[in-house]
Amino acid sequence: MESTPSAPVTSKPKIPDSTELPDEPRRGAFVSLRRLAPFARPYRGRMILMTLAALGATLVGVAVPLLTKDLIDGPIAHHDKAALWPLGGLVLLFGIAEATLFWLRRWFLQRAALGIEADIRNAFFRHLQKLPVAFHDSWQSGQLVSRMSGDINSLRRFFGFALIFLVVNGATFLLVGGALVVIHPVMGLIIYAASIPLILYGRLADRRYHRQSRAAQDQAGDVATLVEESALGIRAVKAFGRQGLLFARFDERAQTLRTLELTKIRTLSELWAVFASQPQLVLSLCVLIGAYAVSSGVLSLGTLVAFISLYLTLLWPIESMAWLMAQSQEANSAAERVLEVLDIVPAIADAETTQRPRPASAGELVFENVSFTYPNSDRPVISGFDLRVAPGETVALVGPTGCGKTTLTALVPRLYDTTAGRVLVDGVDVRDLPLAELRSKVACAFEDPTLFSASVRENLTMGVPDATGEQIDEAMGVAQAEFVNELPWALDTRVGEQGLTLSGGQRQRVALARAVLGRPSILVLDDPLSALDIHTEGKVEEALHSVLRGTTGLVVAHRPSTVLLADRVVLLSPAGPEGTTVAAVGTHHELLQTCPAYRDILSQTSDLSDAAEESEPDTSDSELVEVSR
């Protein structure tokens, strides 16, 4: 299978309406998080109840210092023991109410935050499935995995905890601060005045933490990519003895990630230290002022105790703001990374289903002046390609490596869209067919087959979920995949990640059986027999002959034995500055006799003589010598 050019993995699309990253000032607080509001909207009732429960628990805790004031200035000051019991019972009730409200907050949390997380993750995965192959060619898989897992986890923590307590702590500061101003205006205003420089410092540190958090999250995606590549390529790594090289690359990226995380920790520790020390300094000042007022008879002891107790309830909301702000910035940068993917508009859009009559599915395939250029490339791969494949006809594509054979096959099921021209299936532009309809008509088998970590049955029936046992047996017979019945659990045997528990030839046969299972009207085969031994290949080709009689076939061929499956052969020219075009068209025998370029390509394969003899039994020895030269 040909390798296809792709965009550099570091390229990222321009995201409209999203946050700009690095060093420029933010255009607004939590822009990206606000754009995720539609995911939270279905759960807004539960989130409001969760916020009210958290606020109620905080306010119940605030009531205890006020009861303490009444206890000190009342029963304790007047030595009225009988009056202690009602107030003590009230304190107990407040304690029970606070515990109940805490439980309710956690209960609502489970049903709101986890629901938001699941909805974002589902939307992200669904969107990934809609994005074209060109997107997946240019993005690192580890970056997508880190967004799907770590970043969306950060969003769940924000919606379930940080957002709630930003609201609750802010409301607590305003309410308790107001009560402190009422109790003692001077000390209350001192507390409010001292919060101004704290807020200003917090905003500056917050922006710095956002940049550091984004850098660490991007680096974590790079580390995940390297781990995934190393795991999938472990056979090659071990075969070439390059474990040391791979570890050195991993260690370099892991050390960079460690440095970025330590930078975050330093910023967070600095933020936490400032937010923890400032309230203590203000508390010391208030104790001095209050003690002087009590000693002067201006303030009662109970009032001072109530003031200090109320202020102590503000210590945790103030100190925790540092952590909440950091969590919010991590969530904001996570939202940016998630939206970078969600904002990408699929270049291959699904056509709307219409009620207009469709032509009968005969299997005609037409390439009409087709040209194609890969994204981020200025050199066309294919230029002005014209071909008509009649219903039931099989056409083989032959040409040198890199001439665009695989690209042509990818245009039929719309893995890519043409840059110019049209691909028609039964007279309809493939861009006008709903993708589900198109891909029910077109089935593909590739040289490098992809199997999933699932059972053989699940892999076989991916395109035809309701396939019967007879259909499965028939498809396995065509692909010579009966070896499946000898596996430990036959069709229910799991093949492992990428199907690596099977050999290359076995994977190809399972993939071929998957392609022919639904008897599609058009079958696209990208050299699907390259890993088979000669004996098995002969059996598969013999079975394919019967399948292709009633199916339109487009076959990429690198070996003459595969060419013999075709009714006609299209020889593609070598890719040049203007792209690949058609060099010659004819039957295998005609091109052998009339096209030196065709003979040169096939002569590179050792089984040419056998193929030539099968196609032309009376070919003279001198002709075979000339062809094989």
pTM of the predicted model as reported, rounded to 2 decimal places: 0.73
pLDDT band at 602 (very low <50, low <70, confident <90, very high): confident
**Domains of the chain: which residue ranges?**
31-342, 365-628
- Mean pLDDT confidence for 6-31: 41
Backbone conformation region of residue 241, classed left if phi is above 0, alpha if psi is from -120 to 50, else beta: left
Comparing 461 with 80, which gets the higher pLDDT?
461
- Mean pLDDT confidence for 329-358: 78
Q: What is the pLDDT of residues 482-526, one digit of tens each?
A: 888 888 888 888 887 777 777 777 888 888 888 888 778 888 888
For 73, 102, 395, 460, 562, the CA distances from 544, given in Å and listed in that order, are 98, 67, 14, 17, 10
Please name the residue that has the structure tokens 């006609």.
568
Q: Worst-scoring range by mean pLDDT, 294-298, 422-426, 470-474, 529-533?
A: 529-533
Q: What is the pLDDT of residues 445-465, one digit of tens each?
A: 877 777 787 888 888 888 788
Looking at CATH, the fold of the domain delimited by 31-342 is given as ABC transporter transmembrane region fold (1.20.1560)
The helix (H) or strand (E) run that includes residue 291 is: helix 243-295
Comparing 190 with 58, which gets the higher pLDDT?
190
Exposure letters 314-327 (e unless 16+ CB within 10 A, then b): beebbbbbbbbbbb
pLDDT band at 84 (very low <50, low <70, confident <90, very high): low
For 51, 240, 253, 410, the CA distances from 132, given in Å and listed in that order, are 41, 34, 29, 11
Sign of the Cα torsion 605, 607, 613, 616 reads negative
Alpha helix ranges (H) inside 72-140: 77-78, 84-130, 133-138
3-state secondary structure 334-387: HHHHHHHHHCCCCCCCCCCCCCCCCCCCCCCEEEEEEEECCCCCCCCCEEEEEE
pLDDT of 165 over the 70 cut: yes
For 72, 446, 448, 527, the CA distances from 531, given in Å and listed in that order, are 89, 11, 9, 9
Contact criterion met (CB below 8 Å) for 587 and 568? yes
Q: Three-state SS for 571?
A: strand
- DSSP characters over 518-549: T--SEEEEESTTTTS-HHHHHHHHHHHHHHHH
pLDDT of 178 over the 70 cut: yes
Same topology for domains 31-342 and 365-628, yes or no?
no
pLDDT of 113 over the 60 cut: yes
* Residue 168 tokens, joined: 């609750």
pLDDT band at 111 (very low <50, low <70, confident <90, very high): confident
Task: Return the axis-axis angle of helices 504-516 and 534-549, rounded to nearest 10°.
Answer: 10
pLDDT of 580 over the 60 cut: yes
Looking at CATH, the fold of the domain delimited by 365-628 is given as Rossmann fold (3.40.50)
Distance CA 452, CA 463 (A): 13
pLDDT band at 64 (very low <50, low <70, confident <90, very high): low
Comparing 544 with 77, which gets the higher pLDDT?
544
pLDDT of 629 over the 70 cut: no
Strand order across the beta sheet in which 522-526 lies: 442-446, 522-526, 552-556, 394-398, 568-572, 582-586
Strands 522-526 and 552-556 come out as: parallel
Amino acid 530: pLDDT: 66
Amino acid 79: pLDDT: 64
pLDDT of 20 over the 50 cut: no
Amino acid 611: pLDDT: 45
Q: Worst-scoring range by mean pLDDT, 26-35, 227-236, 289-298, 576-585?
A: 26-35
* Residue 499 tokens, joined: 């199907």
* Surface-to-core class of residue 78, CB atoms within 10 Å of its CB (0-12 exposed, 13-18 middle, 19+ buried): exposed
Q: What is the pLDDT of residues 413-431, one digit of tens each?
A: 888 888 888 999 888 888 8
- Mean pLDDT confidence for 146-173: 84
Amino acid 66: pLDDT: 64
Determine the length of the chain.
Answer: 629
Distance CA 75, CA 374 (A): 85
